């Protein structure tokens, strides 16, 4: 045996073998040869009869002296031993053991032996030999215990230990290529693991027990979520009676990925935005992966689970964000194999303005000009700023220049640069000439030149024109407005050498006296100069007087002027207008006074002798003489007369009825002596009323003037008098709504009168009541008869309010509701006859039992007098049923049933549940949260889900229940409905 070289020729010698042969037979044997490519050469060294005509087994032909044949020896490896055990029930102490060689190379014959671990020297069973291609052997009726099995071929033996006990067998499980599938790609493979097909019969059924196929694997394509059962039992050769065990596996058919979801765009500047938002993403059973614009995954991939809400996905720095590109989103439903690309993409956009630079502050003397700064935009690169500011900036002080950076896509950012323009140099002051003038000097305003402001006009505190005689220094100030000041001095000389100009004064004359106003003269420097004189005013000396006026300008320059004055007296005193005077018996007058313009007060004189006693009219002539032959006169009228009675006296009866009085009117009231039977009486101006004169006694009364110059007498018969007598009406109590007419309240009782009577009354303000309409009213009556007699009386009227307010409108009635539909309290009003009614509200709760209570609503209407009306409403309330509308069927003990809190209060109830297609999947009466419950399994006929766990999703429930109206035999039906959500 030679190794084969790469060209197929003889390589190195590997082994040789010398053997003898007999006619018809030739063989050789090579041991311990490695795997590889070899060439076998055979040489016939013993020819028979000179001929080499033996048959070559390798070449399968008769050949020449030497033969060659290529041989390939494959690699050799040990296999593995797999041991499966099973107990046949109800046999409790014996089972079956299946031994199988897996993998490796087998050189037949192959043997299997079973040993007790405590007796390894001799097998309990075997060895049993199997021929190719068999790789397994089964030992039956093996007692429980600890063993090892030995599998051996021509090259090796393998030992594997195991225990055979009457306990549960190996872990059996159903595995799926996908536990979740999509409706458009529902293909799935289910495999049953843990059961040795040589020991078990295995087949598949659907949830309703229908046979599908035999074997450990099944290929399916369900259209709805379905539960499948893998059934297994030991083969009949192990036991006559075997238990069938089912293994359940549910394949869930899920919704398709929603490709219509909207996706937020992303900014090219990742420092401004580093995530994408998928709006209204599906739940966590879906995954979302970011792809480049060509639909390729990023490395590493970017995958996030759904969250049933807005999903925000962070973008790693490794993902390029180029303006104009976009990112696609792939959505897949986990292991279901549903994969789609969202129709919306995340465009890489530019929505953020350029990053603004930090600009330095700038300053300058008189002006500043700035260069446009540059900002960096993550998408556009450098962006030059623009501004509305006009350069150079010449406004002194601080200015803020706002630079705007626009990237051309509507994104704008701004920054501010501070500018300070200064002015620190004062204006250049000019050299000014001296100035002089007569009386005054006025200067022109000079200018200085400023570097920043240009011409600057001077200012000074000096007031122009300058009139102060002599030298004056005018200080001019030049201020550029920026705090920089320069000054210049200009010398001024003012002179005065002329006297005032003398005026020509007119002659003056006057009656009684003359007073002159001081004249003025005009001075070229001082202007108006007032004259002065030694003459005293007013001038009262009759005749001519010369007044000398002097005009001095105060600077030693003087002028004079003379004015002639004449004083006269040609007017008589002004006679007064004197009043007429009258008197009783006599009149004496005081001398009057007249006013004279020159002499003042002048007393009058007369030839009349006082007192004047002559009755009748007298004229007194008064004369007024000023002593300068000027006389005036006036007349004063005087009348002397007696007193007399006006008209006829009157008599009136006294109210008391015991007598009467006399009333006398006199022309003028003076001082009188009164005698007779009228007493002293009472004066009221010029009317006298006597004291009471007894009834039946005539009157005789004499009036004498106090001066004794006149008198008169009144007398007459006593009048006939009667007495007016009345009685007050009784006190009365009435309601505030009643009339106050006297026909209801009563009138005074007339006990005695003189003819017909007139009744008047006045009511006081109502007081001391419970409101402004109630209390005590005092009515005061005045009764007058035709004789003029009058009498008064009072009546007490007590006004009360004893009637309660009245409710108005439709009042709420007794009702029956559940606790979710309790109405708001009604707003009720009431009216009162006398006052405003105040309505108050109160509510109390009466517990009837654990399922029913009653609300008592009370409205109370009260007026201010304590009158009350009450109205009650009953609201019969059934306890509300709280619906927990979520089921989580994951066997964690939480939310495992459709729980209706409070349903025990309403045993007469029904529950129906419908799919989203309107199919009823569950119905029951007397739902109680205990025995009669919905736990996620259908119980309705005519549905493929009867007695099967319903798929996850949204369902619709209808709950109906009755509650009995308290105190009656009636029932009120209540219905609730809504959505029910099931999660597996």
Q: What is the DSSP string of 338-366?
A: -EEE-SS-EEEE--SPPBPP-PPPEEEES
User: Considering just the CA atoms, what is the radius of gyration of the chain in Å?
Assistant: 72
Whether the pLDDT of residue 56 is over 60: the answer is no
Residue showing tokens 């002159």? 516
What gap in Å lies between CA 955 and CA 60, rounded to an integer? 80
Q: What integer pLDDT is reported at residue 946 of this predicted model?
A: 59
Q: How confident is the model at residue 91 (pLDDT cuts 50, 70, 90)?
A: very low
750 vs 108: CA distance, rounded Å = 161
Give Cα 492 distance to the centre of its chain.
77
Tell me the average pLDDT across 181-208: 83
**Beta-carbon neighbour count of residue 199 at 10 Å?**
23
334 SS3 class:
helix
Given a contact cutoff of 8 angstroms between Cβ atoms, the answer to whether 431 and 447 are in contact is no
Q: What is the pLDDT of residues 500-546, one digit of tens each?
A: 988 999 999 988 889 999 999 998 888 899 999 999 999 988 889 99
pLDDT at 120 over 60: yes
Q: What is the 3-state secondary structure (H, E, C) of 254-274?
A: ECCCCCCCCECCEECCCCCCC
Distance of CA 22 to the CA centre of its chain: 117
Burial of 677-689, coded b for 16+ CB within 10 Å and e otherwise, reads: ebeeeeeeeeebb
Q: Tell me the pLDDT tens digit for each residue of 584-597.
A: 778 899 999 999 88
Q: How confident is the model at residue 669 (pLDDT cuts 50, 70, 90)?
A: low
Which pTM was predicted? 0.32
Average pLDDT over the chain reads 85
The separation between the first and the last C-alpha atoms of the chain, rounded to the nearest angstrom, is 70
- What is the band of 44 on the pLDDT scale with cuts at 50, 70, 90? low
Torsion of CA 310, 314, 315, 317, to 10 degrees: 170
Residue 554: pLDDT band (50, 70, 90) is confident
Which has the closest alpha carbon to 169: 248, 80, 243, 250?
243
User: What pLDDT shows up at residue 25?
Assistant: 59
More confident residue, 433 or 847: 433
Residue 892's contacts (CB-CB under 8 Å, 6 or more residues apart) are none
Looking at per-residue pLDDT, the higher value among 286 and 942 belongs to: 286
Share of the chain above pLDDT 70, in %: 91
Are residues 557 and 500 in contact, defined by beta-carbon separation less than 8 angstroms?
A: yes
Spatial distance between the Cα atoms of 925 and 932, rounded to a whole number of angstroms: 8
Confidence of residue 604 (pLDDT cuts 50, 70, 90): very high
Residue whose C-alpha is closest to residue 81's, from 142, 151, 134, 137: 151
Question: What's the confidence (pLDDT) of residue 52?
Answer: 46
CA dihedral 421, 425, 427, 428 (to 10 degrees): -150
pLDDT, residue 968, reads 56
**Angle at the Cα of 197 (from 194 to 200), degrees rounded to 5?**
85
| pLDDT, position 45 | 55
What confidence category does residue 964 fall into, taking pLDDT thresholds of 50, 70 and 90? low
Say if residue 908's pLDDT is above 50. Answer: yes
Q: Mean pLDDT across the stretch 358-387?
A: 91
Coarse DSSP helix, strand, coil percentages of the chain, rounded to the nearest 5 percent: 0, 50, 50
For residues 639 and 587, give the distance between their C-alpha atoms in angstroms, rounded to a whole number: 8
**What CA–CA distance (Å, rounded) separates 865 from 805?**
11
Position 253 scores a pLDDT of 83
Residue 90: band (very low, low, confident or very high) from pLDDT cuts 50, 70, 90: very low
Q: Which of 171, 164, 235 is nearest to 197 (CA)?
A: 235
At residue 623, the pLDDT reads 94
Give Cα separations from 199 to 86, 90, 195, 205, 232 (angstroms).
Answer: 7, 16, 7, 20, 10
Mean pLDDT (whole number) for 634-648: 84
* 852 CA to centre of own chain: 40
The predicted structure's pLDDT at residue 23: 58
Give the confidence band of 168 by pLDDT, cuts at 50, 70, 90: very low
pLDDT at 698 over 80: yes
Helix locations, 908-957, DSSP H: none
Confidence of residue 555 (pLDDT cuts 50, 70, 90): confident
Q: What pLDDT is recorded for position 492?
A: 94
Taking only the tens place, the pLDDT of each residue in 831-871 is: 988 888 899 999 999 888 778 888 999 999 999 888 999 99
Contact 902, 880 (CB under 8 A): yes
Per-residue exposure over 827-849, b if at least 16 CB sit within 10 Å of its own CB, e if not? ebebebbbbebebeeeeeeeeee
User: How far is 591 from 784, CA to CA, in rounded Å?
Assistant: 58
Mean pLDDT is lowest, of 66-80, 632-646, 859-873, for: 66-80
Q: How many residues are listed for the chain in this entry? A: 984
CB atoms within 10 A of CB 326: 17
What tens digit of pLDDT does each residue of 459-511 get?
999 999 998 888 999 999 999 888 899 999 999 999 888 889 889 999 999 88
Give me 416's structure tokens.
């501010």
Residue 156's pLDDT is what?
Answer: 82
Buried b (16+ CB within 10 A) or exposed e, 252-264: bbbeebeeebebb
Helix and strand totals (H; E) in the chain: 1, 76
Structural element, H or E, at residue 703: strand 699-705
- For residue 656, the model assigns a pLDDT of 59
pLDDT over 90 at 8, yes or no: no
Coil vs helix vs strand at 299: coil
Task: Classify residue 453 by burial, with Cβ atoms within 10 Å: 0-12, 13-18, 19+.
Answer: buried
Euclidean distance between CA atoms 748 and 802, whole angstroms: 28
**Stretch 420-444: mean pLDDT, rounded?**
91
Q: With 80 as the cut, is the pLDDT of residue 672 above it?
A: no
Instruction: Please answer whether residues 794 and 780 qualify as being in contact, where contact means their C-beta atoms are separated by less than 8 angstroms.
Output: yes
User: Is the pLDDT assigned to residue 111 strictly greater than 90?
Assistant: yes
How many Å apart are CA 569 and CA 599, to the nearest integer?
10
pLDDT of residue 129: 93
Instruction: Say whether pLDDT at 559 is over 60.
Output: yes
């Amino acid at each position: 045996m030679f190794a084969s070289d790469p060209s197929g020729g003889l390589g190195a010698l590997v082994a040789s073998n010398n053997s003898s042969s007999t006619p018809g037979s030739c063989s050789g044997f090579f041991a311990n040869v490695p795997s590889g490519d070899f060439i076998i050469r055979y040489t016939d060294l013993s020819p028979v009869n000179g001929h080499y005509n033996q048959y070559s087994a390798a070449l399968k032909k008769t050949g020449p002296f030497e033969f060659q044949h290529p041989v390939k020896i494959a690699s050799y490896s040990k296999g593995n031993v797999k041991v499966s055990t099973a107990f046949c029930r109800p046999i409790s102490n014996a089972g079956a053991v299946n031994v199988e060689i897996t993998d490796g190379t087998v050189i037949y014959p192959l043997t299997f032996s079973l040993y007790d671990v405590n007796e390894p020297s001799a097998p309990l069973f075997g060895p049993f030999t199997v021929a190719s291609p068999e790789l397994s052997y089964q030992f039956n009726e093996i007692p429980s215990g600890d063993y090892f099995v030995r599998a051996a071929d021509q090259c090796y033996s393998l030992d594997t230990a195991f225990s055979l006990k009457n306990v549960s067998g190996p872990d059996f499980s159903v595995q799926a290529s996908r536990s979740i599938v999509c409706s458009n790609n529902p293909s799935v493979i289910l495999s049953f693991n843990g059961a040795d097909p040589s020991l078990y019969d295995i087949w598949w059924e659907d949830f309703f027990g229908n046979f599908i196929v035999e074997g450990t694997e099944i290929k399916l394509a369900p259209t709805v979520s379905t539960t499948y059962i893998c059934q297994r039992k030991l083969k009949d050769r192990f036991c006559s009676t075997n238990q069938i065990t089912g293994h359940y596996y549910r394949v869930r058919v899920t919704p398709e990925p929603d490709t219509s979801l909207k996706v937020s765009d992303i900014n090219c500047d990742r420092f401004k935005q580093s995530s994408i938002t998928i709006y209204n993403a599906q739940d966590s059973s879906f995954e979302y992966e970011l792809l480049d614009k060509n639909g390729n995954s990023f490395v590493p991939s970017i995958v996030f689970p759904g969250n049933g809400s807005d999903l925000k996905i962070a973008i790693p720095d490794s993902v390029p964000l180029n303006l104009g590109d976009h990112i696609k989103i792939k959505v897949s439903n986990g292991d279901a194999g549903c994969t789609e690309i969202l129709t919306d993409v995340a465009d890489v956009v530019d929505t953020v303005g350029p990053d603004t630079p930090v600009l330095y502050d700038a300053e300058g003397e008189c002006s500043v000009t700035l260069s446009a700064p540059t900002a960096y935009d993550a998408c556009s690169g450098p962006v030059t700023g623009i501004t509305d500011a006009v350069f150079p900036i010449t406004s002194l002080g601080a200015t803020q220049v706002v630079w705007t950076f626009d990237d051309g896509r509507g994104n704008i950012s701004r920054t501010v640069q501070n500018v300070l323009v200064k002015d620190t140099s004062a204006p250049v002051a000019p050299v000014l000439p001296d100035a002089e003038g007569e009386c005054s000097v006025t200067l022109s305003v000079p200018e200085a030149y400023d570097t920043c402001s240009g011409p600057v006009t001077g200012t000074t505190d000096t007031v122009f024109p300058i009139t102060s005689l002599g030298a004056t220094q005018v200080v001019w100030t030049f201020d550029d407005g920026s705090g920089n000041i320069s000054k210049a001095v200009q010398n001024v000389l003012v002179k005065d050498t002329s006297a005032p100009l003398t005026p020509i004064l007119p002659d003056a004359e006057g009656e009684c006296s003359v007073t002159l106003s001081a004249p003025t003269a005009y001075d070229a420097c001082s202007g108006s100069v007032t004259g002065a004189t030694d003459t005293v005013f007013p001038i009262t000396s009759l005749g001519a007087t010369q007044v000398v006026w002097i005009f001095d300008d105060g600077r030693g320059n003087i002028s004079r002027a003379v004015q002639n004055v004449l004083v006269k007296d040609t007017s008589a005193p002004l006679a007064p207008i004197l009043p007429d005077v009258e008197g009783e018996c006599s009149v004496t007058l005081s001398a009057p006074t007249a006013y004279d313009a020159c002499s003042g007060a002048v007393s009058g004189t007369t030839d009349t002798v006082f007192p004047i006693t002559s009755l009748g009219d007298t004229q007194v002539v008064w004369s007024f003489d000023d002593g300068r032959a000027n006389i005036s006169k006036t007349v004063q009228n005087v009348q002397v007369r007696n007193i007399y009675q006006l008209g006829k006296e009157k008599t009136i009866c006294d109210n008391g009825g015991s007598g009467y009085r006399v009333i006398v009117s006199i022309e003028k009231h003076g001082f009188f002596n009164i005698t007779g039977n009228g007493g002293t009486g009472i004066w009221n101006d010029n009317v006298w009323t006597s004291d009471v004169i007894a009834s039946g006694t005539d009157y005789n009364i004499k009036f004498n003037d106090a001066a004794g110059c006149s008198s008169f007498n009144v007398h007459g018969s006593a009048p006939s008098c009667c007495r007016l007598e009345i009685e007050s009406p009784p006190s009365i109590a009435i309601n505030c709504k009643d009339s106050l007419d006297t026909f209801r309240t009563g009138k005074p009782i007339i006990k005695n009168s003189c003819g017909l009577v007139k009744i008047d009354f006045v009511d006081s303000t109502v007081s001391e009541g419970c409101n402004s309409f109630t209390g005590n009213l005092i009515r005061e009556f005045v009764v007058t008869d035709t004789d003029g007699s009058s009498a008064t009386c009072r009546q007490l009227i007590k006004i009360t309010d004893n009637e309660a307010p009245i409710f108005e409108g439709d009042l709420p009635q007794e009702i029956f509701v559940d606790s979710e539909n309790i109405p708001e309290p009604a707003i009720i009003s009431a009216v009162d006859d006398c006052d405003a009614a105040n309505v108050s509200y109160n509510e109390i709760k009466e517990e009837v039992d654990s399922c029913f209570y009653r609300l008592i609503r009370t409205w109370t209407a009260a007026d201010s007098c304590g009158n009350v009306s009450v109205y009650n409403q009953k609201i019969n309330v059934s306890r509300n049923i709280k619906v927990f509308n979520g089921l989580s069927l994951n066997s964690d003990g939480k939310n495992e049933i459709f729980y209706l809190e409070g349903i025990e209060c309403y045993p007469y109830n029904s529950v129906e549940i419908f799919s989203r297609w309107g199919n009823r999947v569950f119905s029951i009466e007397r739902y109680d949260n205990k025995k009669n419950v919905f736990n996620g399994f259908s119980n309705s006929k005519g549905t493929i889900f009867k007695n099967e766990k319903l798929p996850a999703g949204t369902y619709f429930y209808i709950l109906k229940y009755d509650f009995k109206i308290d105190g009656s035999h009636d029932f009120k039906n209540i219905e609730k409905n809504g959505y029910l959500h099931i999660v597996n």
